[in-house]
Amino acid sequence: MKGLLSAGADFRRAGRPWIRHRLSPMSRIRPKVFVIVPAAGSGERLGGQVKKQFLLLREKPIIVHTLQRFEHCSDVDEIAIAVPEQSIAEMESLVSHYRLHKVSLVTVGGVHRQDSVANVLRKFVFRPSDIVLVHDGVRPFVEPKRISQVIRACKEHDAAVLGVQPKDTIRRSRGGEFFEETLDRNALWQVQTPQAFKASLLVKAFKNAKRHRMYATDEAALVERVGVNAKIVEGSYDNIKITTQEDLELGRLILERWRTKGLL
């Protein structure tokens, strides 16, 4: 919970640069866009000793593929990454090797994904009107044009999230033995990242989560708890989260297809 505690305190510190930036005509025109990439999971099951975010997808670590999507999106200004403490040096050398110029911070993550995001949130210096995106480190197939779409929707609605509609019929079962109810597929969405928020709103949501000792699997859920519903931006089925061996194999196929289509 330490990360959540300090998120508010650091945001107050972020108030000082607001005064500084106020004088710049450019900053009055466009809010800056920051990206937080939580990549501090311990997921070693997939790769034995290697954490899954550092597994190679063809010749490059998954986390590098992910970061390059944001590096190549002209709407993104700065990127910060949370990694396990023992991976900080490795991450820093990847940043310099692959010339990821937008990465301004590599820091340590927390116990849960939410703690990792909070750790970065309290270290970034931004203004209340800036935009903060959160994107899973193990989601390497988000197209820069979709990142831009989420940013645009966030500017209008304060919160925006990529999602796709499920292709399968979804049924509910409480006991796990028999199906009880078929859900209306048209009303269901599989939620992806990036998720984008006005900075002041995200900080408010994290403060509220801290106050209520609430943990969620994504930031949109925390923001809902302070009364804001994120705008849905239609995503792509390629934007998978690499969790299992099957995902890794699927990831290799997607990468080949992207290469053939000249998307990389």
The residues of the shown chain that bind ligand C5P, judged by CB under 6 A, are 38-41, 53, 82, 109-113, 116, 136-138, 241, 243
Structure tokens at 151: 């940013």
* Distance, C-alpha 12 to centroid of its chain: 23
Closest distance of CB 84 from ligand C5P, Å: 8
> Residue 150 or 158: which CB sits closer to ligand C5P?
150
> Residue 114 or 149: which CB sits closer to ligand C5P?
114
**CA 8, CA 116: separation in Å to the nearest integer?**
15
Closest distance of CB 61 from ligand C5P, Å: 12
> Residue 108 or 232: which CB sits closer to ligand C5P?
108
What is the DSSP secondary-structure string of 50-83? Answer: B-GGGSEETTEEHHHHHHHHHHT-TT--EEEEEE
> Residue 118 or 153: which CB sits closer to ligand C5P?
118
Closest distance of CB 83 from ligand C5P, Å: 8
**CA 168, CA 53: separation in Å to the nearest integer?**
28
> Residue 118 or 199: which CB sits closer to ligand C5P?
118
Taking phi over 0 as left and psi of -120 to 50 as alpha, with beta for the rest, 176 belongs to left
Closest distance of CB 20 from ligand C5P, Å: 30
**CA 196, CA 261: separation in Å to the nearest integer?**
28
Amino acid at 189: W
Closest distance of CB 7 from ligand C5P, Å: 15
